[in-house]
């Protein structure tokens, strides 16, 4: 999920936003009908648990805050890639704010290639670790509440198709609603069909 992860804090080329670092997160966005399903689920959980809203996504890379490079990277990559299929493995949860509750996807060769291509095209040497997942809520919650939620959610898609990219400028590490509210879209591109 997004995510602007704390592990990227060692980047030296970040812009400081009110005492926080700024990075570019490269997202894969699910195609319909999965996009609609996940967006409604995210909105429902945000309303029920007073959590921030965000677009459903799988983060494929997080790196240096170079908006012009992000636009060029997405343009080049989108022309060369077709929609990507990812297999949903399970609903997971953690005590990490941006991974409170999430759909875990099985990594595959195409996704790893895409991660490498974007990292290289962005001329980015960050050490982002690809763990494909789609977050459903960002909220610090007790483990029992997270476990109950995880057990209650059923994803009706054994496989999800992702058909577009987005580059998002975000605060790293993302630890609060205010951090999520500060995210800004840098670029968006559809994958070739």
pTM of the full structure: 0.87
Contact (Cβ atoms closer than 8 angstroms) between residue 172 and residue 9: yes
pLDDT at 13: 36
Topology annotation, domain 6-190 = Cyclic Phosphodiesterase; Chain: A, (3.90.1140)
Q: What is the mean pLDDT of residues 12-19?
A: 42
Strand duo 101-105 + 133-137: pairing: antiparallel
Output 68 or 133, whichever has higher pLDDT.
133
Share of residues in the chain with pLDDT > 70 (%): 88
List, in order, residues 6 or more apart from 22 with CB less than 8 Å away: 14, 15, 16, 65, 169, 170, 171, 172
Q: What is the mean pLDDT of residues 133-150?
A: 97
Domain boundaries, the chain: 6-190
List, in order, residues 6 or more apart from 4 with CB less than 8 Å away: 23, 25, 62, 98, 168, 170, 171, 172, 173, 174, 179, 183
């Amino acid at each position: 999920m997004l995510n602007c992860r704390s592990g990227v804090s060692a980047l030296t080329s970040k812009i400081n936003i009110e005492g926080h670092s700024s990075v570019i997160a490269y997202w894969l966005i699910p195609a319909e009908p999965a996009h609609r399903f996940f967006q409604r689920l995210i909105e429902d959980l945000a309303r029920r648990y007073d959590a921030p809203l965000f677009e459903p996504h799988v983060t494929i890379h997080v790196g240096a805050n170079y908006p012009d490079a992000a636009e060029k990277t997405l343009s080049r990559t989108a022309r060369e890639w077709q929609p990507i299929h990812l297999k949903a493995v399970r609903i997971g949860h953690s005590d990490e704010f941006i991974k409170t509750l999430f759909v875990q996807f099985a990594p595959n060769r195409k996704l790893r290639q895409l991660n490498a291509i974007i990292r290289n095209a962005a001329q980015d040497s960050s050490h982002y670790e690809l763990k494909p997942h789609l977050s459903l809520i960002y909220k610090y919650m007790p483990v029992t509440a997270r476990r109950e939620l995880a057990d209650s959610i059923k994803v009706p898609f054994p496989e999800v198709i992702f058909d577009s990219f987005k580059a998002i400028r975000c605060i790293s590490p993302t630890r609060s609603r205010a951090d999520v509210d500060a995210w800004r879209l840098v670029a968006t591109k559809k994958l070739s069909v």
